Structure 1
Amino acid sequence: MPSLIDQLDQALERSRSTTAAQSLGISELIRGALRETGSYAHYPVGMSEPSYVTRKEPAVVGSFRMTDVFPAPTGELVRQLDIGSSHRTAGNIYTIASAVFNSSRVLQAGARLVPIKDAPAPVQRDGVTAFYRRPAEFKVVTAPAMSVVTDGADVTVSPLPVASASIDFPDAPSHAISFKLSRRERKDNDEADTEYIVARALTLGLARLCDAVVLNAIVVAAPAPFSLAAAAARGLRFGELAAIAGRLATGATVAQDGTLRVAGIRAELTDVVDESVVACWSRIGVACEDECRVIVRRTNTNGDMEITMFTNLAAMLPTADYWLAA
């Protein structure tokens, strides 16, 4: 039987291997792009010299999942970062989903992030290939209708009070984020710090995409102007409401207690739409791919990089519990 020290060593090794398997892997992608030659040599059988060379992009492709561990900066970089970038709860595993949640206006207001898993592999049978669908669904349970029942009368039966929004996820719009990473920017930082900065930029961009997708979907739906009477008619509590003020800050004011308000509702600012939106955000979802694809491409022989992320996002609006501020 192994000693206690051996058991602790084994547990530590398992912990390290698990963390490495769940890390973002940006550093590995950058190193892989640096090694790419930008060409592929074709060697005939038995020949030592290539017959021809095919050009290709000096790029590598990877991915990360919402449950992957968000990289941590070194102590040197922490002293150079803003508090919002470096703050995290001690002792907790900080994931990509956590980073997106902490940076998104709509998610902070109460909207739900709905990661969609990969579809199973296609099935082949009798010469026919069948592909799986990936329907995404977000449901909201509301209070059923009530009625007064007189003696001898039958109770009125209402439908199940569940509202749902669904989408076939391959049909969801594809979104991309792309930015440059110069050789000098890589050399000025430790490898771990470079990975953190890139991961921070990607998650901030993903959070902003969530805001843009949801808020633009609400604006396109052209809801009615907000009023407390309209919210009360929907059976909402005042505490369930929150507002997001757009670029025009329509209806936005700063209350005497120093909080931002839109039509008297607590609010936050955004730059992705012009309009100001008031909603019960807990009844709104954002469907996103659980796996986001990342391409790291070397743009020149100096080692400058171009980092691009692709993902599918869709707003889920099962109920019309949202309004525009007048």
Structure 2
Amino acid sequence: MSETILKHATDELLAEKAAWLEALAAERNASPHTITSYERDLRQFLTFLTGYNARPAGLADVADLSAAELRAFLADRRRDGAGARSLGRNLSGVRAFLRHLERKGLVSAAGARAMRAPKAQKSLPRPLSVAAALEVAEEAGSFALEPWISARDVAVLTLLYGCGLRISEALGLDGAALADPAARAMPIAGKGGKTRIVPLLPVVLEAVAEYRRLCPFALTGDAPLFRGAKGGPLRPQIVQRNMARLRGALGLPASATPHALRHSFATHLLAAGGDLRTIQDLLGHASLSTTQAYTAVDSARLMSIYREAHPRARRRG
């Protein structure tokens, strides 16, 4: 990440920032996405601090930050339209950097520790119905002009729904993945480098095998499994764009995203009697409380059915 065009801090503080980001990658095994998010959060904070003090932010400015200064930063971000979830992430990034500096004896992070993150309204996962999820997977290749791209699109969305993968996990598979038609499971490296074992359905293997058969590029272990039209790695934006077309064609809501297929995987397993701990393992959630959100989704669905179907739940006209 280049700092050459940034004017939001002194060279000394920018060097500390760069060292922290490098340590996150080397020592904490943080993903590129996490590092990019932390860099953005810290840049926004230091840019604010530069304007707040009318000079490039330096170590002296962050050495003993007060809760009032941090509240002013969050208020500034809110005026720019940031919601509670984004503000919480901003504060988390700043805290992490200050803790890094505190361990080196350069600052006090007491003010940041005293700050409470804004409460974000918890939103429930929004899965597709079983019928809609199946239709999405079946129709995924409808908009492709070439047969191999059509097969690729079907394979990707079938993988997201059939295995509950994040889009980054699916697109991160190498060319050797899913090559064995007799395979019944595969390892997936998820967030934080945590590896989980995901069972493979025959329909997933069949979809990937058809894509492999038609793909014009060599699918080897040192190259990505899913390719763009010119042979490079398939970008998430292409998958998201295809899903947007499917939403329009199938009359699905805006919440029907590639990630909604992962939500659908979990919700449909739970509705069919799946064990919550097992679903947690399949999704790669670090905490069971994250997986428990799906119980609320399923309870809401059951209550809706009850109100519509139970004779005593119907209102008398």
TM-score category by the smaller chain?
A: under 0.3
How high is the TM-score relative to the length of structure 1? Answer: 0.24
More helix by percentage: 2
